[in-house]
Amino acid sequence: MRYWYVLFLVAIALGVTPQRQAHAGSNCIQRPETCIDTTFLPFWQAHGGLDQFGNSITGKYARTVDNDTFYVQEFERVRLEYFPKREAPHNIVIGRVGAEWLDYHIKELTPLTTADTAFAPESGACAVVEVNRPAVCGAFLQYHNTHGAELDGIPFANRNERLRLFGAPLTPAMRWNNGTTSIVVQVFERARFEYHPNDPAGKTVQMGKVHAENTLSGVPAPIGASPAVNYLTDTGVTIVPTSVTDVFRKNMPFVGFWQHQASGLKFAATDFRYLDSFYSIPAPEGKKWLTFTVLMQNQRAGDQAPVYIDHSYIAIIDLEGNRHTAAAPIRKLDLPVVPTTVYPGGQMVGQMLLLIPEGTGVAQVEFNGANLDQYVSRLNTVMEIRVAPFVY
CATH number at residue 321: 2.60.40.1470
Q: Three-class SS of residue 250?
A: coil
Give Cβ neighbours of residue 242 (< 8 Å, ≥ 6 apart): none
Separation of alpha carbons 75 and 209, rounded Å: 9
User: Tens digit of pLDDT for each residue in 251-308?
Assistant: 998 789 999 999 999 999 999 999 999 999 999 999 999 999 999 999 999 999 999 9
CA distance linking residue 62 with residue 272, whole number of Å = 40
**Dihedral through CA 320, CA 325, CA 328, CA 331, nearest 10?**
120
Omega before 197 cis (within 30°)?
Answer: no
Boundary of a domain, candidates 200, 217, 234: 217
Residue 390 inside a domain? The answer is no
Which ranges of the chain would DSSP assign to H, the alpha helix?
3-13, 41-46, 49-53, 97-105, 138-145, 159-166, 210-217, 242-245
Please state, for a pLDDT cut of 70, what percent of the chain lies above it: 89
Rounded to whole angstroms, the Cα distance separating 174 from 188 reads 12
Whole-structure pTM value = 0.74
Count CB atoms within 10 A of the CB of residue 121: 14
| pLDDT at residue number 157 | 72
Where b means 16+ CB within 10 Å and e means fewer, 342-358 reads bebeeebebbbbbbbbe
Q: What is the pLDDT of residue 24?
A: 38
Is 363 a member of any domain?
Answer: yes
Q: 141-150, 274-283, 332-341: which range is least confident on average? A: 141-150
Least confident of 49-53, 207-211, 374-378: 374-378
Q: Round to whole Å and give the CA distance between 101 and 85.
A: 28
Q: What per-residue confidence (pLDDT) applies to 283?
A: 94
pLDDT-based confidence at residue 132 (cuts at 50, 70, 90): confident
Is 298 found in the same domain as 186? Answer: no
3-state helix, strand, coil in the chain (%, to 5): 20, 35, 45
* Domain identity same for 246 and 344: yes
Calculate mean pLDDT across residues 193-213.
92
Is residue 167 situated within a structural domain?
yes
Residues 195 and 298 in one domain: no
Query: Is the model's pLDDT at 221 over the cut of 80?
Result: no
34: in domain: yes
Q: Domain count of the chain?
A: 2
Same domain? For 186 and 322 the reply is no
The residue type of 150 is E
pLDDT (0 to 100) of residue 299: 96
Q: Same structural domain for residues 325 and 292?
A: yes
pLDDT at 31: 57
Do 321 and 199 share a structural domain?
A: no
Q: Which of 33, 35, 141, 40 is nearest to 88 (CA)?
A: 40
**More confident: 390 or 28:** 390
pLDDT of residue 120: 65
Domain holding 366, by residue range, is 242-384
Lowest-pLDDT choice from 43-52, 97-106, 215-224, 375-384: 215-224
Mean pLDDT of 95-101: 94
Q: Rounded to 5 degrees, what are φ and ψ at 18? A: -60, -30
Mean pLDDT is lowest, of 28-37, 162-171, 210-219, for 28-37
Are 167 and 213 found together in one domain?
Answer: yes
Query: Can you state the angle between helices 210-217 and 97-105, rounded to 10 degrees?
Result: 50
Same domain membership, residue 207 and residue 284: no
Residue 125 falls inside a structural domain: yes
pLDDT reading at 6 higher than 50: no
Report the alpha-carbon distance of residue 365 to residue 382 in Å, rounded. Answer: 6
Residue 222 inside a domain? The answer is: no
| Whole-number Å distance between alpha carbons of 6 and 19 | 18
Q: Which residue stretches of 24-137 are H helix?
A: 41-46, 49-53, 97-105
pLDDT of residue 207: 94
Predicted confidence band of residue 343 (pLDDT cuts 50, 70, 90): very high
Is the same domain home to 246 and 379? yes
Average pLDDT over residues 333-355: 95
Do 285 and 151 reside in the same domain of the chain? Answer: no
- Whether the per-residue pLDDT at 5 is higher than 70: the answer is no
389 within a domain of the structure (yes/no): no
Average pLDDT across the chain, whole number: 86
Residue 77 sits in the same domain as residue 149: yes
CA-CA distance, 354 to 330, in Å (whole number)? 8
In a domain? residue 236? no
Q: Cα–Cα distance between 175 and 147 in angstroms, integer?
A: 23
Last residue of a domain, one of 217, 251, 286: 217
Beta bridge partners of 74: 79
136 and 201 co-located in one domain:
yes
| Angstrom distance (rounded) from CA 86 to CA 89 | 8
CA atoms 350, 355, 361, 363: torsion sign = negative
DSSP class of residue 249? G
Is residue 333 within 8 A of residue 290, CB to CB? The reply is no
Most confident of 106-120, 195-209, 339-353: 339-353
